A and B are shown apart, each in its own frame.
Chain A
Amino acid sequence: MSEVPTIRVVDVHKRFGSLEVLKGVSFEVHRGNVVSMIGASGSGKSTLLRCINHLETPTTGDIFIEGESLCFRGDAAGSRAPRPLSEINRMRRDLGTVFQQFNLWPHMTVLGNVIEAPNRVRGLSRKAAAQLGGECLARVHLEDKALEYPARLSGGQQQRVAIARALAMQPKVMLFDEPTSSLDPELTDEVLGVMRELAADGTTMIVVTHEMGFAREVSDRVMFLHNGLIEEEGPPDQMFGAPKSERFRQFIAKYLY
């Protein structure tokens, strides 16, 4: 493809003390792609996602958002300096993140959560932000809960608000970090349903998940991480239909029961 990838991860290593969680991961995500990252806990998939929005700083390696380096600022002379936080914050606006624990701000209403960043980070007027917020809430089917406080919502509803909050920044890519892992089983479907709709609308998404059904049906590409490396990747039909590596075979065998 000649087009600049939306996200390009280049040889990312992440070390916490003596523990190397990521041992050199590279991949690209193009516009409209849905990429699922799967793997056992401790395989590094959440850390990788957190590196992409710079909540963790890669020890070495870099991430490019539409060709722009997230970790370094190059000048005309070709020298590279670490990118200052203010610029990282500007680049983060293009990445919508949905967390496992929802992380809504409890002192703001649902609409307040959704419009806070569009209003005060993007600089939209309150009116324009509220209009946009209403549209985002409609996409997660919660427009009637706009004036509730998060504590009054179910886990599934809270996670859908979190998705609306991320959408309201009109990001180039949505990052999902195990979005259904802290939900009761009967509440995961409403969240996965919203995510399927986003994927069908052409949203670029990177999803860390344990939902094999979702990974298989919705993704364009699946990446299986093991011990900080991409062990196997490919289109879901090929991955799940004819797994190549023994480790991936063992991993999916656990989900078939």
Chain B
Amino acid sequence: MSETLQQLLDISIFWEYRTVLLRGLAVNFYVFVCAAIVALSLGLGAALLRVSRRRPLRALGTLHVEIFRNAPDYVMVVWVHFVLPLLIGTLLHTRFELNPFVSAIIALGFVYSGYFAETFRAGIEAVPIGQIEAGRSCGMSDRHILWRIVLPQVVRRMLPESINQFISLFKATTIVSLIAVPDLMYQVSMITQQEMRPLPLYTGAALVYFAVILVASYALRAASERWRNKIFA
């Protein structure tokens, strides 16, 4: 009995497969970074629409936020990978397929753009109007004020909240295995099918994710606090 348990818990199998598992983890990071870039750019765009002076643009921004913030990421991944190509293919009368990487990055990027848009918007609205008027009265254009006065402060203000969102996004990258993106979870399930030893493999995966996220979030928080303290005394 104890021997069975020992064999069950023996995590050394995880070490045996380290190269393929590390490659899987690298895929997680790759999807994370690309989806984060998509999410941040679209999120900024949607936030700028939401603070626009024109009502139709504001409505468009709100629509974007509400659609993607309320879409479950799993559903989005499946929809983008399986339904969107069908739609496009039917419209163009051709066969159309999306690379699983591309689907994963688009789906996660759009879902998280909804969250980032709200964080950006809160940060933009927190910049006192007087600072913007000070820029205007020096003859700065709106674009100059946005890039040099508003956004540098927004980034600092939104850091603590966006660290949480980055963590959620990183966790969400584990569902891309469902559309056969070869990430860590995908590799673990493949190896499990060969070895029939789910316990050490899945436990190992859980520990790896846990360690990566814990270390990264502590490092990011410490760095962001030091950077913020200089100006928000």
* Chain B: minimal CB distance from A156 (Å): 17
Q: B134-173 interface mask toward A, CB cutoff 8 Å, 1 = contact, 0 = none?
A: 1111111110100011001100100000000000000000
Complex contact A117–B139 (CB within 8 A): yes
Chain A residues positioned under 8 Å from B133 (CB to CB): 55, 97, 99, 103
Complex contact B131–A103 (CB within 8 A): yes
Q: Give A4 to B225 CA distance when docked, in angstroms.
A: 54
Any chain B CB within 8 A of the CB of A165? Answer: yes
Q: A85-125 interface mask toward B, CB cutoff 8 Å, 1 = contact, 0 = none?
A: 11001111101110101011111000000001100110000
Q: Give A86 to B139 CA distance when docked, in angstroms.
A: 9
- Chain B residue with minimal CB distance to A118? B138
Q: Give A162 to B131 CA distance when docked, in angstroms.
A: 11
Q: Give A165 to B138 CA distance when docked, in angstroms.
A: 9
Chain A residues positioned under 8 Å from B153 (CB to CB): 105-107
Q: Give A151 to B228 CA distance when docked, in angstroms.
A: 12
- Chain B residue with minimal CB distance to A53? B137
Q: Give A239 to B139 CA distance when docked, in angstroms.
A: 35
Interface residues in A119-139 by Cβ distance below 8 A to B read 120-121
Q: Which of A86, A97, A101, A149 contacts B137 (CB 8 A)?
A: A97
Any chain A CB within 8 A of the CB of B215? Answer: no
Report whether over half of chain B's contact residues are helix, strand or loop; otherwise say mixed.
Answer: helix
Complex contact B144–A121 (CB within 8 A): yes
Interface residues in A128-159 by Cβ distance below 8 A to B read 149-152
Complex contact A121–B233 (CB within 8 A): no
Complex contact A105–B134 (CB within 8 A): yes
Q: How many residues from B make CB contacts under 8 Å with A?
A: 23
Chain A residues positioned under 8 Å from B140 (CB to CB): 89, 117, 120-121
Complex contact A103–B231 (CB within 8 A): no
Given A101-B128, A103-B128, check contact A55 B231 (CB 8 Å).
Answer: no
Given A107-B153, A149-B231, check contact A92 B134 (CB 8 Å).
Answer: no
Q: Give A139 to B99 CA distance when docked, in angstroms.
A: 63
Any chain B CB within 8 A of the CB of A169? Answer: yes
Chain A residues positioned under 8 Å from B130 (CB to CB): 99, 101, 103
Chain A residues positioned under 8 Å from B15 (CB to CB): none
Q: Give A120 to B148 CA distance when docked, in angstroms.
A: 10
Q: Which of A91, A101, A107, A169 contacts B231 (CB 8 A)?
A: A107
* Chain B: minimal CB distance from A157 (Å): 14
Complex contact A99–B232 (CB within 8 A): no
Chain A residues positioned under 8 Å from B148 (CB to CB): 116, 120
Q: Give A151 to B153 CA distance when docked, in angstroms.
A: 14
Q: Give A152 to B229 CA distance when docked, in angstroms.
A: 11
Given A89-B139, A93-B139, check contact A103 B233 (CB 8 Å).
Answer: no
Chain A residues positioned under 8 Å from B152 (CB to CB): 107
Complex contact A152–B233 (CB within 8 A): yes
Any chain A CB within 8 A of the CB of B230? Answer: yes
Given A103-B128, A121-B144, check contact A151 B233 (CB 8 Å).
Answer: yes
- Chain A residue with minimal CB distance to B130? A103
Q: Give A162 to B138 CA distance when docked, in angstroms.
A: 11
Q: Give A122 to B232 CA distance when docked, in angstroms.
A: 29
Q: Give A247 to B194 CA distance when docked, in angstroms.
A: 95
Q: Give A90 to B152 CA distance when docked, in angstroms.
A: 24
Complex contact A99–B138 (CB within 8 A): no
Q: Which of A104, A120, A149 contacts B144 (CB 8 A)?
A: A120
Complex contact B128–A92 (CB within 8 A): no
7 sampled A-B residue pairs with Cβ under 8 A: A97-B134, A103-B133, A105-B131, A107-B153, A116-B138, A149-B231, A165-B138
Beyond contacts A55-B133, A89-B139: 13 other A-B pairs, Cβ-Cβ < 8 A, are A55-B137, A86-B141, A92-B137, A95-B137, A97-B134, A97-B137, A103-B131, A105-B149, A121-B138, A121-B139, A149-B233, A150-B231, A165-B134
Among all A-B residue pairs, the 6 with the closest Cβ atoms: A117-B138, A151-B233, A97-B137, A93-B139, A103-B130, A103-B134
